[in-house]
Amino acid sequence: MLKLLIFLLLINVSASEIKDFSMPNYSTAVSRVIIDYIKNFFLNVTNTVNFYQMSLENNLNVNFDIMNEVLYNVKTKTVVQVDSFEDSKISIVKHYVNIIFFDCFESFEKIYKKMTLKKFDYQGFFLIIITTHMNDIYKTMHRIFDALWVHHIINANIIFMPEENNNEALIYTFFPYSRFYCENVVPLQLNHYRGQKWINKINYFPHKLQNFYGCTLRVATFPNPPFMIINQDKITGQVSVDGLDGTMIRVLSQHFNFNVQLSLPAELWGDIYENGTTTGAIKMVINEEVNMTLGFFATNPSRDAVMKSGYVYYTTNLVWIVPPGKPQTSLQKLLNPLDTNFWILSSITILIGLLAIAILKKQKKIVQNFVFGTSMQSPGMNLINIIFGGSLHHLPKRNFARFLMGLFLFFTFILRSCYTGGLVKFMQMDTRGKRVLSTAEMLEHNFTFYMYPSSRSYFLEMPQILERTKFVTASEFNSKLKQLTVDPYYDAAFITSIGHLAYRNLLVFPHRFHHHAPEALYTLNIVIYMHKESCLALPFNSAITNLVNGGLVSKWASKWINGKYLKEIVDESPDPLSMMQLEGCFQLLYVGLIMSSFIFIMEVFVSHKKGIKLKISKNIKTIKINLRKYFSN
């Protein structure tokens, strides 16, 4: 009872023209066919059927009679929305199942003009009912199908009664691709309803895009390894495609039996400007110069607003390619084997020891002998000697002094062992400095960012990056990127995907390596883009889903995109020590020699100066003595 009330309410609200809804008192083959379609097909697709009617030749009652009969027979089966199009409103949910009643082509045109993409799902089902007899019925059907094909509506059937025969109904449709023509409209009889049954086995809406019969589909793309690789035979001139996207379109062409005609836009992906103009592959799709485009096409809101995206078949991340770490100084190479905290604690321990020696030096001799041992002249130098592994020629004789020396020997032994082991391991590693790890760090160091113009849309909410960005062409991108790999002082970062990065490293291995920051900036969903009204999306999405779920796309990707090339492969084979590795030791030696030489010169100078003073003072004393003797005599 509740369903009936809802049904009557819908009829009352949406169909103001139907004043009386009463039980019909006649039956036609057309109405029985419509009822059969609703009960046996549409109910499996949706729970709502949309009715539209239009009459320009005073045949309104004929339309309503057929509609009344259909409504009466399906009132408990489904919800029916009736719309005359006189006051058409944009629906929140696009209409998917539609039955249209009209009496002439002009009536259909009025309905057709209001069949916008905002209200209708063009990949839905359209059952078109011609309610009156026409002498030029075939021509009318051709015009109707032509109009529908403009919007790529292919799930459309026309039903009409043969002249003066209400017990029969003919069903016509069209196939845009066949072995005789491509992208053309030819009305073909689908079935014949006579009496109470179908003449042929019923196929309500046959699949029309499972076989393209060798027809040509136009594809906009461009070289973009490893996703789209375009090869041309030097002898025959035949063009073939490879790469992840190339393999995808090649497999789809084999599955659906179509040929591929490539169009190479100079502007690559193209741009979408605020004034509505477009360029590149995007423009070709919108203007229907091509059927689709692919070649590392990632979804974003601006593209989705003007084109229809297919099923996501690959996902990757955008990252920054950054310069390699700056080379470490010789002193850093000596200090880095151990942690900073280790050096701080060790230094504090040694300083405490030297400070204790300095304090004890001012104590009584008996205290010094107890701690240092008897006849130990330079305890400070002995401490430094022990730190560097030197030997003591005079050992302390007292037990407490020997105990302290043993503790310090044990401490320095562990210290030297840890340092030696860490230094050996450190020499086997990459001794470059730390790379930048985040966008914030790059901004802090005033990095310049390089990217293609098509990447701009990903950073619209990051003006601080766009302010420092330079948009470059593919050739400029590659030349500057080559400089980045060899110049650690080049403060720049290049935007790329993980897939492109792995492929670039594969090409330059083992001579160079492109480093990247671990921060993922944006997740890219790779799809095929088609015209907003394209009918190719459903069959292609079904096939792509099977390829993804079957693991084939991942297998194709692994051929060109290998994760092992995202990490630098360092040669760990043993090598003889080089001067570069020991440079810090020699520098310390030279610094020590220079300092000791300077101190020696100062000592000689001071001692010489003292000697001169002493000699002068002796001479003065001698002169005084002689003068005294002289005056005393």
Q: How far is CA 86 from CA 106, 216, 552, 614, in A?
A: 15, 41, 51, 126
So what's the pLDDT on residue 588? Answer: 75
Q: Which of 306, 260, 259 is nearest to 285 (CA)?
A: 306
Q: Which of 553, 523, 6, 607 is nearest to 227 (CA)?
A: 553
Q: Which of 7, 1, 4, 76 is nearest to 35 (CA)?
A: 76
Q: Which of 155, 126, 157 is nearest to 141 (CA)?
A: 157
| pLDDT of 1 above 60 | no
Identify the H or E element spanning 158: strand 156-160
So what's the pLDDT on residue 88? Answer: 53
Concatenated DSSP letters for 242-266?
A: EHHHHHHHHHHHHHHT-EEEEE--T
Q: What is the chain's mean pLDDT, rounded?
A: 82
Which of 212-221, 339-348, 416-425, 560-569 tops mean pLDDT?
Answer: 212-221
pLDDT one-digit tens code per residue, 272-310: 888 889 999 999 999 999 999 999 999 998 899 999 999
- Residue 157, helix vs strand vs coil: strand
The CA-CA-CA angle for residues 169, 171, 173, to 5°, reads: 165
Q: Is the dihedral of CA 223, 224, 226, 227 positive or negative?
A: negative
CA 219 to chain centre: 23
The CA-CA-CA angle for residues 226, 266, 456, to 5°, reads: 70
| pLDDT of 13 above 70 | no
Q: How far is CA 66 from CA 7, 23, 102, 129, 525, in A?
A: 17, 11, 11, 10, 48
Please state at what angle helix 105-113 crosses helix 137-150, rounded to 10 degrees.
Answer: 10
The arithmetic mean of pLDDT across residues 75-103, rounded, is 77
CA distance 331 to 347: 16
Please state at what angle helix 379-387 crosses helix 399-427, rounded to 10 degrees.
Answer: 30
Alpha helices by DSSP H, listed for 487-575, are 498-508, 537-549, 552-560
Contact by Cβ (8 Å): 171, 225: no
So what's the pLDDT on residue 431? Answer: 61
Q: Which of 210, 103, 174 is nearest to 542 (CA)?
A: 210
Q: How far apart are the first and last CA of the chain?
A: 158
pLDDT one-digit tens code per residue, 225-256: 999 999 988 878 788 899 999 999 999 999 99
| pLDDT of 515 above 70 | yes
Alpha helices by DSSP H, listed for 75-170, are 105-113, 137-150
Please, is 21 exposed, middle or buried when counting C-beta atoms within 10 Å of its C-beta (0-12, 13-18, 19+)? middle
Residues β-bridged to residue 182: 177
The arithmetic mean of pLDDT across residues 396-402, rounded, is 75
CA distance 70 to 59: 17
More confident residue, 257 or 561: 257
Contact by Cβ (8 Å): 254, 217: no
Assessment of whether the complete model's pTM goes beyond 0.85: no
CA distance 477 to 495: 10
CA 206 to chain centre: 38
Per-domain boundaries in the chain = 2-198, 211-313+527-565, 330-427, 586-633
pLDDT one-digit tens code per residue, 433-490: 677 888 888 898 899 999 988 888 888 888 899 999 999 888 888 888 888 877 888 8
Look up tokens 């760990």; give the residue: 572
Q: Which of 28-37, 39-48, 374-383 has the lowest mean pLDDT?
A: 374-383
More confident residue, 89 or 7: 89
Contact by Cβ (8 Å): 176, 144: no
CA 436 to chain centre: 20
- Residue 116, helix vs strand vs coil: coil
Alpha helices by DSSP H, listed for 456-497, are 463-466, 474-486
Residue length, the chain?
633
CA distance 241 to 582: 52
pLDDT one-digit tens code per residue, 203-219: 899 999 999 999 999 99
So what's the pLDDT on residue 76? Answer: 76
CA 351 to chain centre: 54
CA distance 330 to 106: 89
CA distance 590 to 607: 25
Look up tokens 């100078």; give the residue: 605
* CATH number of this structure's domain 211-313+527-565, picked from the four choices 3.40.190.10, 3.40.50.12160, 3.20.20.540, 3.40.50.2000: 3.40.190.10
The CATH fold assigned to 2-198 is Rossmann fold (3.40.50)
Identify the H or E element spanning 515: strand 515-516
Contact by Cβ (8 Å): 71, 35: no
| pLDDT of 68 above 70 | yes
| pLDDT of 9 above 60 | no
Which DSSP category does 3 fall into? H
Contact by Cβ (8 Å): 128, 144: yes
CA distance 293 to 528: 6
